[in-house]
Amino acid sequence: MTQHNTRHRRTVLRTLASCTLALLAGCTGKATQTDETQGATGERNGVLNRVAIEQTTLVVELANDDPDVVNLIEPNGELWKSRDVATGVERVSFEIGTSYTPGEHRVLAVKDDESIAEVALTIRPQLEIVDVGLFRNHPEKPWEEVYGESETNRKKDGEAFVTIANSGTGPDTVTRLRFDGDLPNQSDDSRGSGLYGRKQAKILPTDSIDLYSSTYPFGPPLYEDEVRCSEAGTEGVFTVKIDSDVSGEGIEKQFAITYSGSEDFHDCDIEIKGVIDG
């Protein structure tokens, strides 16, 4: 995934000849500032005045000493991106998108072939499924805006929303939404991303988003072996799963559910009772 931007020959010689070994741990020659932070923002009073993630961009604000180059080092110690710094420039940026390697990255300010400042920051998303719900239980959601108007509400009654939160320090992109377990209409891998009206959904640090299903998980049963509604109540457990670019696969959460009130699924009361721990 390592990317190398086109740089002047002078810059290449500076970073690779003078600091070939030092880049792996940060050039140590005459460094005057070395700071670390566990988050995605580092406030500094030296050369690197501020290093922060803004949406999908790493922003570096420079205070003084006019470095010639600012380098971004990946968690594996390799040079990922580099920016030449013209005299008087106070801000440089690196677009990281959602295809970066999560972990501790290092920002190095270089002047006259020496590292004069370094800041380490952790860029890592932390996605969590925090809620799931149906139209009949959450009419306040923008169902018609998402699925369109319908006299029968068939699509809205059979689909679901899932709220995803990112409590981490890096952006991510959700690429797949799946439902499994005691459901009247289970997902399968042939139905695309499982996201209604989109193939993917970007989620920024400290943000949350609602995703809407496209696989009709709570629609009437299609096969005999799928969950049925009953007047006395049918209890079950289902799992919501998501995949993402940075976090990968395996993000999931289980919920308890009850189908009751009728033998006819169109009149069924569906109650999602909450998260199952463990």
Task: Give the pair of three-digit tokens for residue 192.
Answer: 């695309």
The confidence score (pLDDT) of residue 45 equals 46
Number of alpha carbons in the 13 Å side-chain half-sphere of residue 69: 27
Contact 164, 126 (CB under 8 A): no
pTM score, whole prediction: 0.82
261: left (phi over 0), alpha (psi -120 to 50) or beta: left
Is 225 within 8 Å of 182 (Cβ atoms)? no
Q: pLDDT averaged over consecutive 10-residue blocks of the chain (278 residues)?
A: 40 39 37 46 71 97 89 98 94 96 97 93 98 93 90 82 98 96 81 92 98 93 84 96 94 96 90 85
Predicted confidence at residue 214, as pLDDT, reads 94
What is the set of domains in the chain, with CATH numbers?
9-123 (2.60.40.3080), 127-275 (2.60.40)
> What's the pLDDT score for residue 160?
96
Question: Minimal CA–CA distance to 162: which of 130, 192, 185, 139?
Answer: 130
Burial of 131: CB neighbours in 10 Å, binned 0-12, 13-18, 19+ = middle
Percent helix, strand, coil in the chain, to 5, is: 10, 45, 45
